[in-house]
Structure formats: C-alpha cells, structure tokens
Amino acid sequence: MTVEAEIIGLVHKEAQLLDDWRLDEWLEMYDDEARYWIPIDEHADPERTSSIIYETKPMLRLRVEQLMRENRLAQSPRSQMMRLIGNIVVTPEEGGLAAARYNLMMMELRSGDWRQQGLGEKRFFAGRCEIRAARKDGAWRILNKTITLLDRKQPVYGMSFIL
C-alpha cells in the first residue's frame, strides 16, 4: 500500500471513529506530543493568541474522559454527527512523515431536551483540515491537526464534541 493510500485511510478512519463516538480509539491515533488546533487566525501563533481550540494530547485525553465517562448535560444524550471528507491531497515527506490537506463538512443534530441550547437544531461545520503524521511502531500517528473553519471569525457556541 502506498503512503498516499495509508494516509487517506487514516483520515477516513479518524472521521469514522468520531462519528461512531469511539473516542478512546480516536485518541490513540494521536502521538503523545500531538497538537490539535482550531484557529481563529490560522496565521497566528497558537501559543500567543486566542484560538477556538488549541490542545495537547493530555487536554484531548481530559476532553475524551469528560465526554465518555462523566455526565455532561451538553452531550446527554449525545449529538448525532456525520462527517464528509473530500479533496484529500497527501504529501509524503522524508523520515517516515506525511502531510495531508482535505475538506471537512460535519453535521450535528443535537436532540437533547429543553435544558439544552440548540434542541433539534441541525448545525453544519465546514473547514479545511491539515494533518501531519509519522509512522511509529508500524502505525501512523497524528502529530498535528489544524481545522480552519470557514466561519471561524463568527461566534462559535456549544461545541461540546470533538470536531
């Protein structure tokens, strides 16, 4: 299998795990030093400016723990989500590394109850994604992921799930 096919498979596997709410397995796709970034300004330094989300793997682990095993009103019952991935372009790099750029459209339906904002509302999140991955111990691990939302400069509310 080519590096391009493996990375395309990695991107699709990540989307499927998130859609299926298999967050523990999703988290294992990330390297211990990974960064997950949803910027407001994609040209800014995420360690010096505000972001929608900028997290390391320990923070992602905490987010997964809260979503999977703590009673969080915002995700009880959990949102139904579906991700569509397209236009994947893979760039193999030296040293067992690869990068990919692709488009993401994520739909969320929050069924919830009267206490939850967005009851019955379908929401759409469109963005451009970039990942960088490394082959470690025979498997690809995500080193960095950036999701640049089309509406990143508009208010983002109620993001109580992993995009």
Assess contact for 84 and 104: CB atoms under 8 A: yes
- The pLDDT-based confidence of 58 (bands split at 50, 70, 90) is very high
Per-residue pLDDT tens for 83-137? 999 999 999 999 999 999 999 999 988 776 666 666 677 889 999 999 999 999 8
| CA quadruple 19, 24, 30, 36: dihedral sign | positive
CATH code given to domain 3-149: 3.10.450.50
DSSP H or E stretch at residue 155: none
Q: Where are the domains of the chain?
A: 3-149
